[in-house]
A and B are shown apart, each in its own frame.
Chain A
Amino acid sequence: MEADSTQHRFSLFLVLFISLTAIFSSVTFYAMSAKPSQPFIGLGVSSPKGLQGYISGSNLSVPVGQTLNWTLAVTNRMNKAEFVMIIVRVGTNSSTLTPNATAPSTTFPEIGRTDQFVNDGETSRINFTWVIQSSYQTAGLTYLNISMNGQSEVSSAPVGTVSGRNFRLIFELWTFDTPSGSFQYGYPGLNSQVGVWLQVWFNAS
Chain B
Amino acid sequence: MRTLRPRFLAIIVCLLVSSTFLTTPLHLAKAQSSELVTARQDLVQAFQSIQTAEQQGASNSDLLPLTAQLNIALQYEETADVYSRQGNDTLSVQYAVQSISISSQVSLKAQNLGSSAQATSLYRTTLSYILAVIVALLTALTILELGRIRIILRRRRVLKAKIDYGGR
Number of residues in B with C-beta < 8 Å to the partner?
30
- Is there a chain A Cβ closer than 8 Å to B137's Cβ? yes
Are B47 and A28 in contact, CB atoms less than 8 angstroms apart? no
Are B141 and A120 in contact, CB atoms less than 8 angstroms apart? no
- Is there a chain B Cβ closer than 8 Å to A23's Cβ? yes
Are A12 and B144 in contact, CB atoms less than 8 angstroms apart? yes
What chain A residues lie within 8 Å of B149 (beta carbons)?
none
Q: Closest residue of chain A to B110, judged by CB?
A: A81
What chain B residues lie within 8 Å of A118 (beta carbons)?
67
What chain A residues lie within 8 Å of B71 (beta carbons)?
116-117
Are B136 and A13 in contact, CB atoms less than 8 angstroms apart? no
Are A16 and B140 in contact, CB atoms less than 8 angstroms apart? yes
**Binary contact track B56-85/A, C-beta < 8 Å → 1, others 0:** 000010011001001100100010000000
Interface residues on A, range: 20 to 34
Interface residues of B in 96-144 (CB under 8 A from A): 124-125, 128-129, 131-133, 135-137, 139-141, 143-144
What chain B residues lie within 8 Å of A25 (beta carbons)?
129, 132-133, 136
- Is there a chain A Cβ closer than 8 Å to B48's Cβ? yes
- Is there a chain B Cβ closer than 8 Å to A128's Cβ? no
Are A24 and B50 in contact, CB atoms less than 8 angstroms apart? no
- Is there a chain B Cβ closer than 8 Å to A46's Cβ? no
A81/B63 contact (C-beta < 8 A), A13-B140, A13-B144 known? yes
| Highest count of chain B CB atoms <10 Å: which of A12, A13, A83 | A83
What chain B residues lie within 8 Å of A49 (beta carbons)?
none
The distance in angstroms between the C-alpha atoms of A115 and B136, with both chains bound, is: 53
A83/B129 contact (C-beta < 8 A), A20-B136, A24-B135, A120-B60 known? no
Whole-angstrom distance between the Cβ of A95 and the nearest chain B Cβ? 34
Determine which of B47, B51, B70, B133 lies in contact with A21 in the assembled complex, contact meaning CB atoms within 8 Å.
Answer: B133
Whole-angstrom distance between the Cβ of B46 and the nearest chain A Cβ? 9
Are A28 and B60 in contact, CB atoms less than 8 angstroms apart? no
- Is there a chain B Cβ closer than 8 Å to A17's Cβ? yes
What chain B residues lie within 8 Å of A106 (beta carbons)?
none
What chain B residues lie within 8 Å of A17 (beta carbons)?
136-137, 140
The distance in angstroms between the C-alpha atoms of A120 and B125, with both chains bound, is: 23
| Highest count of chain A CB atoms <10 Å: which of B124, B125, B133 | B133
What chain A residues lie within 8 Å of B144 (beta carbons)?
9, 12-13, 16
Are B47 and A81 in contact, CB atoms less than 8 angstroms apart? yes
What chain B residues lie within 8 Å of A117 (beta carbons)?
47, 50, 67, 70-71, 74
Interface residues of A in 80-95 (CB under 8 A from B): 80-81, 83
Are A116 and B74 in contact, CB atoms less than 8 angstroms apart? yes
Are A119 and B67 in contact, CB atoms less than 8 angstroms apart? yes
Are A81 and B133 in contact, CB atoms less than 8 angstroms apart? no
What chain B residues lie within 8 Å of A122 (beta carbons)?
60, 64, 67
- Is there a chain A Cβ closer than 8 Å to B37's Cβ? no
8 contacts between A and B (CB under 8 A): A20-B139, A24-B136, A79-B54, A80-B51, A116-B71, A117-B70, A120-B60, A122-B67
19 further contact pairs, Cβ within 8 A, besides A24-B136, A80-B51, A81-B54: A13-B141, A17-B140, A20-B137, A20-B139, A21-B136, A28-B129, A28-B131, A32-B124, A32-B125, A81-B50, A83-B44, A115-B74, A116-B71, A117-B47, A118-B67, A119-B60, A119-B67, A178-B51, A181-B44
* Top-5 shortest CB links A-B: A20-B136, A24-B132, A16-B140, A21-B136, A17-B140
